[in-house]
Amino acid sequence: MDDPKIKKVGVIEGYDQWVKTYDSEDNPLIFLVEENLGELLGAVKGQKIIELGCGTGRNLVQILNLGAQFVLGFDISDGMLARARAKLNPKFSKLLLQDMQSTWPVQDESFDVVLESLALEHLANVDFFFQEAHRVLKPGGKALLFEIHPIFHRQGKAAHYDDENGTKSQLPSFHHSVEDYHQSAIQAGLKLENLWEFNGREQSKSAKLELYKDTPVLISLLLKKDNRNS
Ligand SMILES: C[S@@+](CC[C@H](N)C(=O)[O-])C[C@H]1O[C@@H](n2cnc3c(N)ncnc32)[C@H](O)[C@@H]1O
């Protein structure tokens, strides 16, 4: 039975509210992404990068600081995009109100990297995401994903925030196993290059992360599109 203390909110309504605290709260998953993004992404100098579900733009800011040439972010929450717009230089970035479940308005083979972080749990089916990622990547390009770990999700954890009245608000969240991600990626033509798991013993500025000691909380997948010549 549903917990009456937890309010259910839609994705757009939820993120339009959550944006008020998103960049300041201690959220172990968000912090782990921020702390590991640069290393897992590798060199981005001169590259074109697209992030689906870019939220407040915190990842895109970091990527531009690492030397990327241009970043494009899509999100369905106006509130999150407004925060991102305030942070990013429009000379090197573009932000669009766009549902990633509809055809992405970008040309085939136009990006070096597709980034996605903590947004796929809101999609019932992830096949289309991987198909579009494959389409927009240049040959040899890569996709880097960060998601709530399926084990953590099975324990009842999902995207949520406390609203201004202190009420816990829960967003729609769907379970995806590692195999779900991998199968969708393979069918779209992407190859798994690497996979990382993060648990509560990682070094992090998140004080809350310690609560989860040996529980895998976050998973990251690095996928590659074949180089035509390889
Ligand atoms: C947990 S936030 C992650 C934001 C950012 N990627 C980060 O790592 O901080 C998830 C974001 O995905 C966006 N989102 C959810 N479903 C989406 C969809 N179908 N299309 C585009 N954006 C979506 C939400 O509005 C929200 O900004």
Report yes or no: 190 and 143 within 8 Å, Cβ to Cβ. Answer: yes
Would you say 209 and 217 are in contact if contact means Cβ atoms under 8 Å apart?
yes
Domains of the chain: 6-211 (3.40.50.150)
Atom of ligand 1 nearest to the CA of 80: 27
Q: Which of 29, 100, 161 to mutate to test the pocket of ligand 1 (most atoms within 8 A of CB)?
A: 100
Cβ atoms of 192 and 182 within 8 Å: the answer is: yes
Contact 142, 193 (CB under 8 A): yes
- Give dist(CA 192, CA 39) in Å, integer: 17
Whose CA is closest to atom 26 on ligand 1? 55
Pocket test for ligand 1, best of 9, 25, 37, 54 (most atoms within 8 A of CB): 54
> Which amino acid residue places its CA nearest to atom 11 of ligand 1?
53
Question: What type of residue is 56?
Answer: T
> Looking at ligand 1, which atom is closest to the CA of residue 74?
21
pTM of the model: 0.97
Say yes or no: CB of residue 120 within 6 Å of ligand 1.
no
Please tell me what DSSP assigns to residue 138: E
Q: What is the pLDDT along the chain (230 residues), one digit of tens a residue?
A: 467 788 999 999 999 999 999 999 999 999 999 999 999 999 999 999 999 999 999 999 999 999 999 999 999 999 999 999 999 999 999 999 999 999 999 999 999 999 999 999 999 999 999 999 999 999 999 999 999 999 999 999 999 999 888 889 999 999 999 999 999 999 999 999 999 999 999 999 999 999 999 899 999 999 999 987 55
